[in-house]
A and B are shown apart, each in its own frame.
Chain A
């Protein structure tokens, strides 16, 4: 077998010539997600431009950058919430192998969105149905893909609540009675219940206090490792990517200025902006 890094040649290498690291699982060299030359503009304003990378099964990719750097635009383009102006988002589907999700039909993309993909919003309220019980929230994706046995749906929901450290006794409570951290964990349970292979996370720890953040990160790390998930995490919190991400992409003004292994980028930043970013973190 050829060395995996041969598969990951970047169409547009970053200024420092960083190449994407190889897959963690050498047995499966095909990327799960391959983003090619993705661009999105809002009129004359650039959302993100010329972004390309490969994500391998089991890999966690972090995207950092300041507010307005295009991280969320990029994430929404990849997850199908926004239509990119140019570029391809090729996902390795279970049934048909690699497919460009941008060119997919809407029903197919929606199906992907509730089976193999998951999207964790920054604000749990955006990702939950606040008027529906915790069990109903977790069960929705199951029912959307055809589960019609109440007992089994409920058992699965209970199992997932305990996996995200929510007391299963609260299965019939509405999420609005939950604390912020619990809501975020519920949102994660609701997303992971169908066993997705790729999770998009938009600032999953934003707006939570630090001790709750730590628990959530712990939980996420456990779930990602146990389920062999691939994930793309957008955040401005370098501690989050240090803990969770295998690889890191630094964005500024809609463009990727540096990418590489997380520890390499954070410990030996090459680009001026990355150096600024790393040195801006307060040491307690």
Chain B
């Protein structure tokens, strides 16, 4: 089933070496955006070209690979990337979070705690947290190097003055080890606490923007906030309709044209595992 026309994991060895150097540098300076020579991948920008390149660079033949897209293993993006590496690397794949050694993700962190030895690869559309506040790249780089982050709080201030609370609900900016302000990719802010202190390695790849950054295991990551408006990792106030979980991030699904809706875990593996253990929600068939 491996396609022998390709080098292992699609990219040539020199490219993978270049990406690994960027990853190592990123791990050495948590939260710092390392420029790298992003390659054209056989997929459009915005579909995870950065994540795929990072995955290709860290995969070994012994790895077991999992891909999630908004928490789900069975959406187009997840299915295509999984089959891409099945074909070009011949690695084993899985949908189970606990069995995977490399997990590529778009917009979610799995509900199940990650363990030592696992690598979580994020797809990042816009790596620069200051981008929409300061359009000049030369200036944002200077702001990072000088820790000039007052502007980030101006954004949160504007949120509160406009909406009465910090309305940023995804790609919520974080401070890494008290040094770099980092965009955690568009994960819901519910996932932000899971960035901090995890035992797994977290790698972030932005293909179009040509940046890689990383969080080594057990890195302290703090979500920015105000003293009188503390960070709130909110989620929909419902249990999962299928497995009854109260602690997982939920998707709202419209089920008919009469206003009917149900809330289900966005992490499909977590939901299925709970159902297999016999948990049932109110909408379970």
B254 within 8 A of A: no
Question: Given contacts A148-B226, A149-B226, A150-B229, are A133 and B161 in contact (CB under 8 A)?
Answer: yes
Q: Are A145 and B161 in contact (CB under 8 A)?
A: no
A151 to B142, CA, bound (A): 30
Question: Given contacts A110-B146, A151-B228, are A143 and B154 in contact (CB under 8 A)?
Answer: yes
Q: Are A132 and B227 in contact (CB under 8 A)?
A: no
B170 within 8 A of A: no
Select which of B146, B161, B228 is within 8 A of A171 by beta carbon: B161
Q: Are B150 and A132 in contact (CB under 8 A)?
A: no
B158 within 8 A of A: yes
Chain A interface SS verdict (over half)? helix
Select which of A106, A139, A141, A145 is within 8 A of B157 by beta carbon: A139
How many whole Å from B145's CB to the nearest CB in chain A? Answer: 9
A29 to B162, CA, bound (A): 48
Q: Are A106 and B146 in contact (CB under 8 A)?
A: yes
Question: Given contacts A149-B227, A172-B162, are A136 and B148 in contact (CB under 8 A)?
Answer: no
Q: Give residues of chain A (163-186) contacting chain B, Cβ–Cβ below 8 Å.
A: 171-172
Contact residues in A for B227 (Cβ distance below 8 Å): 148-150
Which among B147, B149, B150, B162 has the highest number of chain A CB atoms within 10 Å? B150
Select which of B150, B158, B162, B226 is within 8 A of A145 by beta carbon: B150
Contact residues in B for A153 (Cβ distance below 8 Å): 157
A106 to B142, CA, bound (A): 10
Q: Are B158 and A150 in contact (CB under 8 A)?
A: no
A107 within 8 A of B: yes
Q: Are A140 and B154 in contact (CB under 8 A)?
A: yes
Q: Are A141 and B160 in contact (CB under 8 A)?
A: no
Which among A107, A135, A143, A153 has the highest number of chain B CB atoms within 10 Å? A143
What string of 1s and 0s marks CB contacts (under 8 Å) between A85-102 and chain B? 000000000000000000
Select which of A107, A114, A143 is within 8 A of B153 by beta carbon: A143
Q: Give residues of chain A (104-143) contacting chain B, Cβ–Cβ below 8 Å.
A: 106-107, 110, 114, 129, 132-133, 135-136, 139-141, 143
Question: Given contacts A148-B227, A149-B227, are A114 and B150 in contact (CB under 8 A)?
Answer: yes
Q: Give residues of chain B (24-63) contacting chain A, Cβ–Cβ below 8 Å.
A: none
How many whole Å from A126's CB to the nearest CB in chain B? Answer: 14
B151 within 8 A of A: yes
Q: Are B146 and A148 in contact (CB under 8 A)?
A: no
Contact residues in B for A140 (Cβ distance below 8 Å): 150-151, 154
Closest A residue, CB atoms, query B229:
A150
Closest B residue, CB atoms, query A137:
B154
Closest A residue, CB atoms, query B147:
A107
Closest B residue, CB atoms, query A140:
B154
A110 to B151, CA, bound (A): 14
What string of 1s and 0s marks CB contacts (under 8 Å) between B190-210 and chain A? 000000000000000000000
Contact residues in A for B157 (Cβ distance below 8 Å): 135-136, 139, 143, 150, 153
Using a CB–CB cutoff of 8 Å, the interface residues on chain A facing chain B are 106-107, 110, 114, 129, 132-133, 135-136, 139-141, 143-145, 148-151, 153-154, 171-172
Going nearest first, the 10 A-B pairs with the smallest beta carbon separation are A144-B150, A143-B153, A150-B226, A143-B150, A149-B227, A107-B146, A136-B154, A140-B154, A151-B228, A136-B158
Residue pairs across A and B with Cβ atoms less than 8 A apart, 20 shown, are A106-B142, A107-B146, A114-B150, A129-B154, A133-B161, A136-B158, A136-B161, A140-B150, A140-B154, A143-B150, A143-B154, A143-B157, A144-B150, A145-B150, A148-B153, A149-B226, A150-B226, A150-B227, A153-B157, A172-B162
